[in-house]
Amino acid sequence: MDERDPVISSPPGKEPERQYYFINKLMQRNAAFFEKNKRRSRFFIQTFGCQMNERDSEKMAGVFIKSGFESSGSEEEADVILYNTCTVRDNADQRVYGRLGVLKGLKDKNPDLLICLSGCMMQESSVIEKIKKSYPFVDLIFGTHNIYKLAELLYERIESGSQIIDIWEHEKEIVEELPSKRKYPFKSGVNIMYGCNNFCSYCIVPYVRGRERSREIKDIIREIEALVSDGVKEVMLLGQNVNSYGKTLPDKVTFPELLREIERIEGLKRIRFMSSHPKDLSDELINVMASSEKICSHLHLALQSGSSSVLKDMNRHYTKEDYLLIVKKLRERIPDIAITTDIIVGYPTETAEDVEDTVSVIKEAGFDGAFTFIYSKRTGTPAAALEFRMSEEEIHKCFDRVLKTVQETAKKRISLLVGRTLPVLIESVNEKDPAMLTGRIPQNTVVHLRGDSSLIGEIVNVRLDRAEGFYYIGSLT
Distance CA 180, CA 340 (A): 29
Contact pattern for ligand SF4 over residues 236 through 275, marking x by CB under 6 A: ----xx----------------------------------
Strands (DSSP E) contained in 261-317 are 270-274, 298-300
State the nearest-atom distance from the C-beta of 272 to ligand SF4, in Å: 17
**Cβ neighbours for 291, distance < 8 A, ≥ 6 positions apart:** none
- Region of 65-73, 83-91, 300-308, 437-445 interacting with ligand F3S (CB under 6 A): 83-91
For ligand SAM, how many residues bind (rule: CB under 6 A)?
18
Residue with smaller CB distance to ligand SF4, 206 or 231? 206
- Region of 157-165, 191-199, 265-273, 352-360 interacting with ligand SF4 (CB under 6 A): 191-199
120 binds, among ligand SAM, ligand SF4, ligand F3S, none (CB under 5 to 8 A by kind): ligand F3S
294 binding ligand SF4? (CB under 6 A) = no
Q: Identify residues 353-382 at the interface with ligand SAM (CB under 6 A).
A: 373, 375-376, 378
Distance CA 83, CA 103 (A): 11
371 binding ligand SF4? (CB under 6 A) = no
What is the amino acid identity at position 110? N
199 binds, among ligand SAM, ligand F3S, ligand SF4, none (CB under 5 to 8 A by kind): ligand SF4
**Adjacent-strand bridge partners of 450:** 436
One of 82, 88, 150, 301 touching ligand F3S (CB under 6 A) = 88
One of 116, 190, 200, 205 touching ligand F3S (CB under 6 A) = 205
One of 19, 67, 72, 87 touching ligand F3S (CB under 6 A) = 87
Q: Which residues of 101-115 are buried (b: 16+ CB within 10 A; e: fewer)?
A: eebeeebeeeeebbb
State how far the alpha carbon of 283 is from the alpha carbons of 262, 263, 280, 290, 301, in Å: 19, 18, 10, 10, 15
Distance CA 214, CA 239 (A): 9
- Region of 4-12, 193-201, 320-328, 388-396 interacting with ligand SF4 (CB under 6 A): 193-201
Distance CA 261, CA 453 (A): 33
Distance CA 81, CA 45 (A): 6
Length of the chain: 477
373 binds, among ligand F3S, ligand SAM, ligand SF4, none (CB under 5 to 8 A by kind): ligand SAM
Distance CA 473, CA 449 (A): 6
One of 8, 18, 33, 50 touching ligand SAM (CB under 6 A) = 50
Per-position DSSP letters for 42-71, written without gaps between them: EEEEEE-SSHHHHHHHHHHHHHHHHTT-EE
- Region of 11-19, 195-203, 325-333, 405-413 interacting with ligand SF4 (CB under 6 A): 195-203
Distance CA 423, CA 120 (A): 36
Distance CA 231, CA 425 (A): 13
Sheet holding 338-345, edge to edge: 298-300, 338-345, 369-374
Strands (DSSP E) contained in 375-469 are 421-429, 436-440, 446-450, 459-468
**Cβ neighbours for 420, distance < 8 A, ≥ 6 positions apart:** 463, 464
State the nearest-atom distance from the C-beta of 121 to ligand SAM, in Å: 13
210 binding ligand F3S? (CB under 6 A) = no
What is the distance of C-alpha 28 from the center of its chain?
Answer: 33
State the nearest-atom distance from the C-beta of 302 to ligand SF4, in Å: 7
123 binding ligand SF4? (CB under 6 A) = no
- Region of 155-163, 196-204, 252-260, 395-403 interacting with ligand SF4 (CB under 6 A): 196-204
303 binding ligand SAM? (CB under 6 A) = no
Contact pattern for ligand F3S over residues 116 through 145, marking x by CB under 6 A: ----x-------------------------
State how far the alpha carbon of 81 is from the alpha carbons of 8, 64, 246, 334, in Å: 29, 11, 36, 45
Q: Identify residues 216-235 at the interface with ligand SAM (CB under 6 A).
A: none
Which residues are near ligand F3S by CB under 6 A? 49-50, 52-53, 86-88, 120, 205, 208-209
Which residues are near ligand SF4 by CB under 6 A? 196, 198-200, 203, 205-206, 240-241, 277
Which residues are near ligand SAM by CB under 6 A? 50, 88-89, 202-203, 205, 240-241, 275, 277, 302, 304, 342, 344, 373, 375-376, 378
